[in-house]
Amino acid sequence: MSTVTTETPTYVGKRIKRKEDPRMITGTATYLDDIKLPNMHFAAIVRSPYAAARVDRIDAAAALALPGVVAVFTGADLDDVGNVPCGVTLPGLRIPPHAILAQGRVYFAGHPVAVVVANDPYRARDAAELVEVDYTPQPGIADPEKALEPGAPAVHPEWPDNVAFVHKQENGDVDIAFAEAEVIVKQRMLQPRVVANPMEARGAIGDYRSAEGTLTLHSSTQIPHLLRSIAAAVLGVPEHKMRVIAPEVGGGFGCKADVYAEELLVCFLSRKLGKPVKWVEGRREHFQATSQGRGHVDYYELAAKKDGTILGIKLKIIQDIGSHQQLTTPLIPTLSVLMLPGLYRCKTFRAEVVGAFTNCFPTDAYRGAGRPEATYGIERIVDCLAVELAMDAAEIRLKNFIEPQEFPFATGTGLIYDSGNYAATLGIALDTVGYAALREEQRAARAAGRLMGIGIATYGEICGFGPSPYTPAGGWESATVRIEPSGQVTVHTGISPHGQGEETTFAQIAADELGVSMDDVVIVHGDTAIVQYGIGTFGSRGTAVGGTAMFLAIEELKKKIMKYGAMLLETEDVQWVAGRVVCNKTGASVTVAQIAAASYRALKLPPGSEPGLVATSFWEPANFTFPFGAHIVVTDVDPDTGDVKITRYVAVDDCGKIINPLIVAGQIHGGIAQGIGQALYEQMVYDENGQILSGEFTDYVMPKAANIPFIESHHTETPSPVNPLGVKGVGEAGAIGAPPAIVNSVVDALSHLGIRHLDMPLTPEKVWTAIQGSRA
Amino acid sequence: MKHPITVTVNGNKHTAEVEPRRLLIHFLRDTLFLTGPHSGCETSLCGACTVALDGLAVKSCAVFAVQCDGRDIVTIEGIANKGSLHSVQQCFWEEHGLQCGFCTPGMIMASRQLIERNPDPTDTEIRHALEGNLCRCTGYQHIVTAVRAAAALERK
Amino acid sequence: MIPQEFEYAAPATLQAALELLADPGARPLAGGMSLVPLMKLRLAAPEKLVDLRLISSLKSIRREGAFLHIGAMVTHYELESAPLIRQECPLLAAAAAAIGDVQIRNSGTIGGSVAHADPAADYPAALLALEARVQLTGPTGEREMTFEDFVLDTFTTALEPGELVTAIVVPIEAPGTGVHYQKHPQPASGFPMVGVAVRVRRENGLISFARVGVTGLSGKGYRARAVEERLIGGAASDVEIKEAASVVAAGVEASADIHASAVYRAQLARVATVRAIRASLPHAH
């Protein structure tokens, strides 16, 4: 397949500052809460303080009596709106009905019970406090493993076993592998729930116009077109009369690639009241009612030979589903199974996922969506194997890596890894960190009583979502490229960036391909009335899939441009040279701008050509892409307090072709920061019934600048053969490599004390307690 | 009962009648239409709402508008000089110190305060000075680079 | 997120403020860094706020003999940066510098913090070690008491209705006093899970003076007199320091929450005590 055709790129590959930034650094970007519509009203939601309860009575009289309050609605009022949808099909999948307001029972702390609409947000909040609700609390359950035990409170009475689904996958003969194994290691691992916490929480404005029957939904979303289709169906609005606009979106990390009760609720309210209605999520509400990440209890078993060759893998995942199924909730752990073998050539495995209902808000996609979980597990269990065999952590990985000549590589889980050179990234990481010298230093440190650890994690990643048969709603992406009569370029992309920088990187690609200035290219996204149907931004697909669609549309346009150029130059003997069509014989040329003017003026058309210069491409990828990398983390553990200090962080990542190294570095740093958060600081804490204990930033530990070390970031570029850009994707890599590298490092620091595993987050107390326990 | 207040914001004098409980951030965003300061949390920890009050970086979500009567406020919208970006803004742009941009106005206001007080900060001092500003996107590394670059620019 | 409604006044004099505070529904507003977040969560809902920011007599820092007289409305930033405080009472400057973050220190005040009596505030460790005094002014006039006597319990002080904290009085540190504030912050909120403040002096190589203040460990800050007694008269070797620090949490009911169990918090107290003593010794002679 052809790669990017420009000979000497002006923009691609260069460190170029972003087109997005001027509006953001001047405070003039428009986020959801910045939008003011005429006669806009404000919704405040009354939420259940209980995780499990019957709702006996709701009395809104006092609330309605407040000046400025126009309405209060409860679950009894939802006559013309359906349920929050789940977009996944799995055999035996149980999907509890999920109304947008509670129907007589609440299932998680924060479950919406009533909604107040007022002409001012302060009054709406005052009124919400005055809505009286009587509950009969019931026993709830927050621990997914305990939820599956007999006798646990039933989250949904019709399913007393609390099983949401069971998913099994296997390959090869696992039982023989384990029977023949010379060594078997086993480990239970927890990957607690974490909260996405983009700095902009969610928000939505519903604007229904009854005279036309049109509905506009402004939402801080990653998936405007999918949201439109789904919301239109749930609300009974014809799809062509619905518009979704994603304004500037202040981060998402997967939690905004979903369809939520509140988005449907503001539409319902606007239609009922004939006014635009805005709901802005408070941070506490984000902890209560936005989908969360991870939530695994994993049982790993690894069978191997004494020389470190992995023979087989067994994995049981208990996935904390939560109370309901959000859009892709049950899909996420199945992605973990796909990524189970990591970078290793072993194809023999047996995996089982049991989804457990709990009285907590559902889990769903969060940066990496199933792949960080899988990488964490395989990298931890491989380290456990290394310790068992007294083998070096790097050596054991090198022994089992898929090698460059083996690509494309069909895994036992049904994936085909596109390209890779795993030993290369690990080698660079080992060299950069000075591995041999570090192990020496560690020996000396240990002798002096210091707890120093060196942790390695090598990861692979499923990105560039993806071939449509394997995605819930289609995995292709679209682009329309318009060369205007002036020669300037407008690109409409179906992806929906929220910090990833495609307004810049796509302009780089388009400008290079068309030989125009980047200043003459604008990238438009997020509005379904303007942009052709697209899938959205998640799964590190923006450039790999969306960028490719744009590239192919440009290729189409270039064919037309050549025809026009030949016509204007009155010869067939022409070639494309950096933004011009050039006559090979005379050197006479015409620019893209001149051709554009001619094509719209249409004084003369080339045979078989239409006027205008617009092309649309819908591109279906034949495969996912597979970024990979190696992270090495050096830690110092304070034996008196258990504090973990990262003294060095070396990341070597391969995201395929790099379009803008500044942006790639930012994605790596940000992903690693979230991985550090997960490994050392973050966990969503519920009591055993489902009461929220970590529901604000005063209790949920968000990493601050002083908590993140300097990251030494390096890259290899192994182009992906899946798309003509050679891009693999980089949005999630950091969050995948960091947690296992850090946990491996801390366990390594304590391994001489006999400690074999510690669960995330590695809080100082947990580490200190483990050290105390080992010395007992 | 509403209170009359007179505040100077970004060099412009404004007189208004406000409820005592109206938070400064809402006064700025909803009355003066300065939507640069953002609300990112409810516990005055995230710093996205940071503005300068009489030259001091404060969290506008934890201040009532009535407390600002007679005082001088500068928001992100006011730190450029006649269309010329402040060095902190310029350097955030050059060094990719932002991704989604939501924390950025507050981050820039806090960085500006740091450089005013400490013209040659170390990376450790920068990270410490930004304890009151959360970012979920950047991992802070490019922010630190941007602040160091801005400090160098200001020293020239 | 939104406070309940209230009335507001910003008097220009202390007298006017006291008159307004005679109303039982009125509360003083200092920097607001403790009160406003509570009001936003609707955990506090005063009917009237009396803003003290215009009362210039509450903003002064001045020497009074062997003491520093600090007005209640002096901010944490002013205390961390004022040359007079940094030189004459460095322990107080250190505690102020450890509070929250830059924005909070720009707004929050020492009087507001002291009157709020959060068991996990930073000042108590330093104020106890300094044997600081609190000046109160109310309808019946002025009175003074030790900070130790002023804080009764969690969020509970000896303030009478209508009374204000008007000043904090700390000693000017004698030359040759080594001081240090060692804090283990709760990683989300930044408040001390445990904070230990130490002041020591040495004579002829032996500890002649020691004051140890602890905050965050339990429902109220306290002076660790048992630690002080073990230090005084000793040479403060590593072994002696560890031994003295080992009793810092003895007999104290340590708090527990999702961030630290009672057992771990007590461990942090011991570690913080050791580190605070070690760090203060080099300057003690």
**Per residue in C192-232, pLDDT tens?**
999 999 999 999 999 999 999 999 999 999 999 999 999 99
Could you give the CA distance from residue A487 to residue A593 in angstroms, rounded to a whole number?
Answer: 4
Average pLDDT of chain B?
97
Report the sign of the C-alpha dihedral through residues C68, C71, C76, C82, in that order: negative
Chains in contact with C via at least 3 Cβ–Cβ pairs below 8 Å = A, B
Q: What H or E segment, with its residue span, contains residue B12?
A: strand B12-18
Instruction: Inform me whether the C-beta atom of residue C240 falls under 8 Å from chain B C-beta atoms.
Output: no
Print burial letters for B54-90: b (CB count within 10 Å at least 16), e (below 16). eeebbbbbbbbbbbbbeeebbbbbbbbeeeebbbbbb
The alpha-helical segments, DSSP class H, found in A448-581 are: 502-514, 548-569
Residue B103 in contact with partner chain A when CB distance is under 8 A: yes
Q: Say if CB C179 and CB C197 are below 8 A apart.
A: yes
Q: Would you state the pLDDT for residue A3?
A: 43
Q: What per-residue confidence (pLDDT) applies to A776? A: 63
Give residue A472's pLDDT band: very low, low, confident or very high (50, 70, 90).
Answer: confident
Query: Does the beta-carbon distance from C32 to B67 stay under 8 Å?
Result: yes
Q: What is the mean pLDDT of residues A476-498?
A: 97
Distances (CA, A) of A710 to A153, A738, B120, B145, C146: 46, 13, 19, 11, 46
- With a CB-CB cutoff of 8 Å, which residues 280-299 of chain A face chain B? 282-284
Q: In this complex, do A701 and C184 lie within 8 Å of one another by their Cβ atoms?
A: no
In this predicted structure, the answer to whether residue A275 has a pLDDT above a threshold of 90 is yes
Tokens coding A478:
């679209």
CA distance B19 to chain C (A): 8
A residues 263-282 closer than 8 Å to C (CB): 282
**Amino acid residing at A399:** K
C189 touches B: beta carbon within 8 Å = yes
CB contact under 8 A, C1 and A640: no
What is the radius of gyration, based on Cα positions, of chain B?
15
Tell me the pLDDT band of A23, cut-offs 50, 70 and 90: very high
Comparing C-alpha atoms, which of A20, A114, A3, A55 is closest to residue A502?
A20
CA distance A326 to A29: 30
CA A88 to CA B115: how far, in whole Å?
51
Give the tens place of pLDDT for each residue, A644-699: 999 999 999 999 999 999 999 999 999 999 999 999 999 999 999 999 999 999 99
> How close is the nearest chain C Cα to the Cα of A103, in Å?
27
| Residues in contact with A189: Cβ distance below 8 Å, sequence separation at least 6, in sequence order | A296, A297, A298, A300, A376, A377, A380, A757, A759
Provide mean pLDDT across the span A632-639.
Answer: 98
Burial of A124 by CB count in 10 Å (0-12 exposed, 13-18 middle, 19+ buried)?
A: buried
DSSP string, A316-329: EEEEEEESS--TTT
pLDDT tens-digit map of C230-279? 999 999 999 999 999 999 999 999 999 999 999 999 999 999 999 999 99
Calpha distance A308→C281 (Å, rounded): 53
User: DSSP letters along A633-652, please?
Assistant: EEEEE-TTT--EEEEEEEEE
Query: Rounded to whole angstroms, how far apart are CA atoms A511 and A519?
Result: 9
User: Of A663, A697, A734, which has the smallest distance from its Cβ to B45's Cβ?
Assistant: A697
User: What letter would DSSP give residue C13?
Assistant: S
Average pLDDT over residues A110-135: 98
The alpha carbon of residue A124 is apart from the nearest alpha carbon of chain C, in Å, by 10
A13: left (phi over 0), alpha (psi -120 to 50) or beta: left
Sequence letter at residue A592: V
pLDDT band at A2 (very low <50, low <70, confident <90, very high): very low
Kindly state whether A183 is in contact with chain C, defined as any CB-CB distance less than 8 angstroms.
Answer: no
Would the pLDDT of A619 be above 50? Answer: yes
A128 neighbors A66 (Cβ within 8 angstroms): no
Q: Is the minimum CB–CB distance between C3 and chain B shorter than 8 Å? A: yes
**Three-state SS at B53:** strand
* Whether B109 contacts B52, CB under 8 Å: yes
Q: Please give the angle made by the CA atoms of A373, A376 and A379, to the nearest 5 degrees.
A: 145
What percentage of chain A exceeds 70 in pLDDT? 99
pLDDT, one tens digit per residue, over A44-66 is: 999 999 999 999 999 999 999 99
What's residue C244's pLDDT?
98
What is the structure's pLDDT at C207?
A: 97
- Enumerate the residues of chain C whose CB falls inside 8 A of the CB of residue B131: 100-102, 190
Chain C nearest CA to A643, separation (Å): 10
Angle of CA points C240, C244, C250, to nearest 5°: 155
Report pLDDT for A6.
52
Question: Which residues is C198 bridged to in the sheet?
Answer: C180, C212
**A190 Cβ neighbours under 8 A, 6+ residues apart:** A296, A297, A298, A759, A760
Write out chain B residues lying below 8 Å of C102, CB-based.
57, 110, 113-114, 129, 131-132
pLDDT band per the 50, 70, 90 thresholds, residue B1: confident
Contact A283 B43 (CB under 8 A): yes
Answer yes or no: is pLDDT of A637 > 50. yes
From A99, A51, A101, A49, select the one nearest A72 (Cα to Cα). A101
Q: Is any Cβ of chain A less than 8 angstroms from the Cβ of C259?
A: yes
The two tokens of residue A181 are 């194994």
Residue C120 contacts residue C191 (beta carbons within 8 Å): yes
ipTM > 0.95 (yes/no) = yes
Q: Which residue of B has its CA nearest to C104?
A: B58
User: What pTM did the predictor assign?
Assistant: 0.97
SS3 A155: coil
Q: Which of A354, A351, A349 is nearest to A330 (CA)?
A: A354
Mean pLDDT of chain A: 96
Quick one: average pLDDT of A277-291? 98
Q: Give the pair of three-digit tokens for residue B131.
A: 């304890």
Residue A222 clears pLDDT 90, i.e. is over it: yes
Furthest-apart CA pair in chain C: how many Å? 62
What is the rounded average pLDDT of the residues A359-385? 98
Q: Compare all CA atoms of chain A with the CA of B33 and give the residue at the minimum distance.
A: A34
- Output phi, psi for C242, to 5 deg: -60, -40
Q: Which residues in chain A are contacts of B48 at CB distance < 8 A?
A: 199
Q: Write down the pLDDT at residue A580.
A: 95
Q: Which residue in B2, B22, B41 has the most chain A C-beta atoms within 10 A of its own C-beta, making it the best mutation to test that interface?
A: B41
Structure confidence at residue A1 as a pLDDT band (50, 70, 90): very low
Q: Say if residue A571's pLDDT is above 60.
A: yes
Inter-chain CB pairs, B–C, below 8 Å:
84
Q: What confidence tens digit (pLDDT) does each residue in A644-655 have?
A: 999 999 999 999
Chains touching chain A at 3 or more Cβ pairs under 8 angstroms? Answer: B, C
